[in-house]
Structure 1
Amino acid sequence: MKIVVPVKLLPAPEAARALHDELRGVNDGANRVSEVAFTTGTMREYALRKLVYTELRERGVKSAAAQQLIKKVIDAYTTLRANIRAGNLGKKGSKRRIKAESKPIVFRLDAAQAYDHRNLGWDIDAQTVAITTMSGRIKGIPFVCSPKQLKTLAQYRKGEADLLRKDGVWYLYATCEVPEAEQYEPDGFIGVDLGIVNIATTSTGYQAAGRELNRYRKRQLAFRKKLQKKGTKSAKRLLEKIRRKESRRAKDLNHRISKTIVTEAERTGRGISLEELKGIRERVRLRKPQRVALHSWAFAQLGDLIVYKARRMGVPLVFVDPAYSSQECAECGHTDRLNRIDQARFICRGCGVVAHADRNSSHVLARRGQAVWDAGRKSHVPATRPQV
C-alpha cells in the first residue's frame, strides 16, 4: 500500500533561491511542453519527448527533470480526457467543456514537481537531502519530521517525491510502500452513517457531532467576508494567513474520527460497512444556505482515511448502497418516507420502534455490509469427492 510522508525542508537562503528558480523553471518548461502537445496533438510520451527534449535542455532543465515534466504533461492530458469521458466537465457543447478543450493545460509556476533517485538523494541518518536543480546539485538540505515518519522513510521509502512550496515553506512529499496487515475474518460489521449534523455515527454507539466544526466554518466564512470587504493590505495578509486553517482543522478531525472507528473495529474483531457517497454533490438538491455546509464537508477525505487505516490494520471494509437507509427500519426492515420524522427522530410505521435516526441508519448499513460480505465470501465447504 502506498502512503505519502511529508517532510519539511529547511534550506539556507541560497539553497531556497535555487529551489525557487528550479520550480519556476521546470513549470515554465511544462507549459511549453503542454503548448506543443496541444498544438501538434502529440499525446504519447516518447513521441512528445522527441519534439521538446532538446528545447528543454537548452532552457537549462536537467535531463531527469525534463523527462519527469514531459510525463507530468502527458498525465495531465490523460486526466483531462478521462474527466471529459466521465462527463465531469459537462455535456458536449457546454461552456465549461469547450473552455477545457479549446486551450492547452497551464501549470502554475509554483506547482509541485516530482523527483526520483536520479535527481534526489536522501541521507536519513543525517536528516538531509540533496537535490539536482538548474543551478547545480544542492547538498545537505536539512529536513524535519516526526520520529514515526522518519522510521517509515527509512524502512519503506520507494519511488518519487514531490517538491513544493506552500505558504513560504518548502516540503518534500515522499512515496512509501507500506505492507498491508493480513485481513481477518470479521465477526459482524460496524455500520458507519456519515452526515453533516453528525459527521459519523456508528452502530456501536460512537457519534462524532459536527456542531463545533460547522459553527467554526460559519464564523470563518463571516470573517473572510469581512476581510474581503475591507480590502486593505493588512486584511489581505490576514486572509493569506488563514486560508488553509479551516481545511487543516477539518482534516485533523477526520483523522481522529477515522482512527476511532477503525480501532474499535479491530478491537472487537468486526469489519466496517461504509456508505458509498460518490456523486453526492451532484445528486443532492438543497436550499442555498445548506449548500455551503454540504460543499465544505470533506466527504471523500473521511472515507479515504477510514479505508487507508483499515487496510493498514487488516480490518475488512465493504462499501454499500446507502439508498433509503434513512427510511428503513433496522428492526423489521419496513421502509417508508414517513418513518423519518425529522433530522434526529425515527419512528417506524410498521413495528413502532423509536430510535435516533442516524443510529438506526448505521444499523441498517451494518446489516447491508454483512450481506455484501457474505455474497462475496469464498466458500469454505470442502470439495466433494468424485463419485465412483
Structure 2
Amino acid sequence: MTVFDVTDRSRDLRQRLLAFMDEHIYPNDAEAARQVNDGNRWEHLPLIDELKPKAREAGLWNLFLPTASDPDGTFGPGLSNLEYAPLCEVMGRVWWAPEVFNCAAPDTGNMEVLARYGTPEQQEQWLIPLLNGEIRSAFSMTEPDVASSDATNIESSITRDGEDYVINGEKWWTSGAGDPRCAVSIFMGKTDPNAERHLQQSMILVPMDAPGVTRERMLTVFGYDDAPHGHAQMTFKDVRVPVSAMLLGEGRGFEIAQGRLGPGRIHHCMRLIGQAERALELMVARASSRVAFGKPLSAHQHVRELIALSRMEIDQARLLTMNAAHMMDTVGNKEARGQIAAIKVVAPNMALAVIDRAIQVFGGAGVSQDTPLAMMYAQARTLRLADGPDIVHIGTVAKEEMRRQGEAARGRESVFSASK
C-alpha cells in the first residue's frame, strides 16, 4: 500500500471547507430539518439555495470534477481522486451538505458521464446547468422485476423509430427524482436483445417532463422518505426522445457504467467515513457527559473499547479508500476495480458498526430524532446495496485476487503437491 502525500492544495481546501462547515452547515442542521418537515416535504430547501453562492465564492464548488473533465478549470479546482477524498469525507458528515458544494449524488456521477461521453449539444443542454447548480438529475437503472445487481438482466427497452428512440420500462430506486428541480435522468435499457451479453444495453438522456414519464411513488428507506431528494419508482411508457439523446452509441451502456460507477462508489465510501467520524465524535461527547452507575460512561471499560474499536476501524477504512483513490489516479478505474470493490464492502460495514456503537452509548436518544444517528444508520445500511450489493463486490475482489496471483498460485500448488 502506498504512503499518501495529500497535496498542499487539498490541505488548503480542506481547511476552508472545515471553516465553512463550522460557520454555515452545523449551525443550520436543525434549520434544514425544519424546512424539510414544514409544509410540502418535496419542495427544495431554501437554505441550500442561500448557501450555494457562499460556497462558490469561497472556491468550494464542483470539488469532485477531475482535471480531465474540466481542463481549463472553468467549473472547479480540478482535483485528483486522492486530493478529493478528504474533502468528500468532510462534506459527508451532514446529509444535506454535499449539495451546497454541488458535490451530491447522483449529480456527480451524471456530470462525469456527460463530461466524458456527452456530445457538445448534450453538454450544453444538461451538463452546464448541472455544473452551475441550476438543475438536478437522476439515474434510472434498477428495475423491480429483475435482479438488477446483474445489469444484464435489465429489461427496459430503447427502440429506434425513425429519428426518435421509444422508451418503455419500469424503474425503481431512481434517486433524486423527488426533487422538483430534477430535470433529466440517465436511463439504462436494451437496444438489442440479440447482441452479445454486454453489448445489449445502452444509456440515453430522458427529460423528466417528457410525456410518458411517471413518478408512481416515492420509496422509503427504513421509514425515511429522504425528502426532498427521494427515491422514486417510475414508469416510462412510449417515451420519445430524439436520436441525439443517446449517450456514446448503441450497445455502450456497460462501458459508460464502468466509467460512472467507479467514482460514484468511492465517493459513497468517502462520505461514509465522514459519517463514521461524526458518529465517533458524538459517541465520545456523550460518553464524557453522561453518568451511569456512579461514573461517566467514558470511565466504563466497555465504552472505552467501543471508542477504541471505532477509531481503529475508521482509520483502516480510510487507508483502503485512499489507496483505491491513488490507484484510480495512477492506473485508471479499470485496473483499480478490485480496490474499489473492496472499499465498497468495507466502508458501509465499518460505518454501520461505528454508528451502532454510538447509538448504544446514547441509549434511547440514539434512535430518536434528537440525534442524526438513526438516519445515518439507515443511509449506511442502504449503501450495502446501492451501486451493487456486498456479495457482488466480494466476488470482484476474489476474482481480481485470483487473477493477480495467476500462474504463481499454480506454481505454489505444484510445489506443495511434490512435497507430499
Task: State which structure, 1 or 2, has the greater radius of gyration over its C-alpha atoms.
Answer: 1
Q: Whose strand proportion is higher, 1 or 2?
A: 1
TM-score (norm 2): 0.25
- Higher relative contact order, structure no. (Cα contacts within 8 Å, ≥ 6 residues apart): 1
Q: Whose helix proportion is higher, 1 or 2?
A: 2
TM-score (norm 1): 0.27
